Amino acid sequence: MGVFSRLSDIVNSNINAMLDKAEDPEKIVRLIIQEMEDTLVEVRSRAARAIADKKDVDRRKAEFELRSREWESKAELAIAKGRDDLARGAIAAKRKALEMAELFDKEREAIDKSLDKANDDLEKLQAKLKEAKAKQRSLEIRRSTAEGSLRINRAVYDGRIDEAMARYERYEQRIDEMEAEAESYVMGRPKSLEQEFRELEAEDDVNAEFDALKKRIAERVGGAS
């Protein structure tokens, strides 16, 4: 089923309005583009035939112009030879040849107008086709974005994810309980020899940092006074 009935429908079309009314805009825009491309081929084909006709008309017009010049030469020869009757016949033939050349000239003008119209139609049609393809790309991008958002939202709001997270939290809680239980076994036990040495070393480090800090403060106060 065609979307348009003739070329003027395409040129005067409002693609956005057509798509707003369509139940399936992507399908409609594909049909629009296909029909525009088919029409483009048709218009170019008509233009090609017109160009061929123009060349044929130019050729035939040139032939009759050549004939008119030949008959004029014959008329001059007949007059020079005293054959006025032949001269008149040659002049009449020349006039007919010129009339035919003028007819082909008018036909050439009509063809030129037809080509100008075809060129104008092609420009408008190509502009509409460009608009339709831009709309198609826009629809494809919107659909792709919507599909991506739908997949993400399905994943985010899927109850199975919440259930899995809840199981993970229960698992972490169970590990915390196991670690706490393990720590409870060493509470209240005497310190090991290694542990006492580590504490002594840590205490020395603290005292050394304390003494250094105290010295810097004393130097700062002494310098200020």
- Model pLDDT, residue 1: 46
CA 67/CA 91 separation, integer angstroms: 11
In a shared domain, residues 76 and 87? yes
In a shared domain, residues 171 and 146? no
CA 77/CA 83 separation, integer angstroms: 8
Non-local CB neighbours of 143 within 8 Å, separated by 6+ positions: 26
AA identity, residue 141: I
In a shared domain, residues 56 and 84? yes
In a shared domain, residues 18 and 68? yes
CA 71/CA 85 separation, integer angstroms: 14
CA 100/CA 62 separation, integer angstroms: 10
In a shared domain, residues 80 and 127? yes
What's the total number of domains in the chain? 3
13 assigned to some structural domain: yes
In a shared domain, residues 173 and 78? no
- Model pLDDT, residue 181: 67
Non-local CB neighbours of 50 within 8 Å, separated by 6+ positions: 111, 114, 115, 118
90 assigned to some structural domain: yes
2 assigned to some structural domain: no
Its domain, for residue 169, covers 159-189
Instruction: Spell out, as residue ranges, where the chain has pLDDT lower than 70.
Output: 1-3, 5-6, 155-162, 181-193, 223-225
1 assigned to some structural domain: no
210 assigned to some structural domain: yes
114 assigned to some structural domain: yes
In a shared domain, residues 125 and 201? no
* pLDDT tens digits for range 156-188: 666 666 677 777 788 778 777 777 766 666 555
Tokens of 49: 């035939």
- Model pLDDT, residue 3: 66
